[in-house]
Copies of this chain bind each other. A is one copy, B any other.
Amino acid sequence: MTTRKEVAELAGVSEATVSRVLNGVGPMKESTRKRVLEAAERLGYHLNAVASSFARGRSGNLGVVMPHVPKVHLFSTYYFSELLSGIGGAVHERGYGLLLLFRNPAEVYDYVSLFRTLRVDGAIVLGASSLPSEMAGIREAAAEGLPCCVMDQHFADIRIGTVAADHVEGAYRAVKHLLGKGYRRIGFLNGSPQYSNSADRLTGYRKALAEAGIEPDDSLLYAGNYSWTSGNAAAEKIYADLDRLDALFVSNDRMAIGLMKGLRDRGCSLPEDLAIVAYDDSDAARFSEPPLTTVHVPFYDMGKLAAERVLDRILDAAEGEQEPICDVLEPRLVVRKSCGTTKEDSF
């Protein structure tokens, strides 16, 4: 590999001059500049991006920090893959690199070092929860005012950028649709409580019931963790409760599909025995039997917007304290057959 020294010798200048020319730093005689560029060209010397980013104080990379869960193919889940596709689209447009980093969910992640060591110029946190270990790292990043955004999760006590969907509204529309079809005894299979968007769904569910004058019945609340397996496992309890349930709202498609398999295995006809509205509008929602009525969340757009917002912060780099990024996108209901209708429509 050609060294800076060889370029300096061929051009008849010092190594420092080679660096200054190639990094475009400081004033320089045009004849010297040309001589250095020609020598670099002739020797095939590539400007060292690391040295160069060191000089500029930037890496050219946007970090995406996501949980590592052994045996779960996270990129293959609709949620993460769509968010990443959106982030990738924005990063490509701006000529940035996307540095994926994995954190162990139980450990405190050191976001601040990630920035201080110039590995990334900004970061997006995927799959964050309110577990104390996760919040500790995020709290520190927020305190430092780093260009940072947490995806689809908000915290009551941390002022940090977020791009999210309005899951109170999404859940509200799902349950309102079931109410509109005449169902009154509506249960709810929710995901893990450490995510703010699980709590938001519960709020939306309760709001729709309250508006319809229905007393909430906590014995119709079921607990899963957003996995197919947890939905499938919930089938036992829900099957036993079928005589007091008309319909069920489920916090994501994956659990709903696991649940429907469990119910069919117990001899149920769907949607006749139980009307279901799910959440996400993943690819699988269209292919499932029956196809799922579900809340469409614009994950791709959310990822793209989050990346654009963080890159804006990096590239504009305005002085002084800025308000945290805060964008909330609207979900919408997509009606298919699982709620007991054949009309394909959305509102």
Q: Which A residues fall within an 8 A CB radius of B?
A: 1, 46-54, 59-61, 68, 70, 73-76, 78, 80-82, 84-86, 88-89, 91-92, 97-102, 113, 116-119, 257, 283-284, 287-289, 300
Contacts and interface: CB of A to CB of B under 8 A. Distances in A.
A49 B300 CA distance: 32
A117 to B, nearest CB: 3
Given A68-B92, A73-B82, A88-B102, A54 B48 contact: yes
Contact of A51 (B47, B54, B76): B54
A88 B75 contact: yes
A92 B72 CA distance: 13
A338 to B, nearest CB: 13
B102 A92 contact: yes
A117 B46 contact: yes
Given A75-B81, A84-B75, A49 B119 contact: yes
B117 A50 contact: yes
A85 to B, nearest CB: 4
Contacts of A257: 287
Contacts of A51: 54
Contacts of A59: 50
A187 to B, nearest CB: 24
Q: What number of copies of this chain does the assembly contain?
A: 2
11 contacts: A50-B119, A68-B89, A68-B92, A74-B88, A75-B84, A76-B85, A76-B283, A81-B81, A97-B100, A98-B101, A283-B284
B99 A99 contact: yes
Task: Give the one of A53, A98, A283 with max B CB within 10 A.
Answer: A283
Interface of A (DSSP majority class): helix
A119 B74 CA distance: 25
A46 B140 CA distance: 15
B81 A73 contact: yes
Nearest to A68: B92
Contacts of A118: 48-50
A154 B300 CA distance: 32
Contacts of A74: 85, 88
Contacts of A50: 50, 53-54, 59, 117-119
Contacts of A91: 100, 102
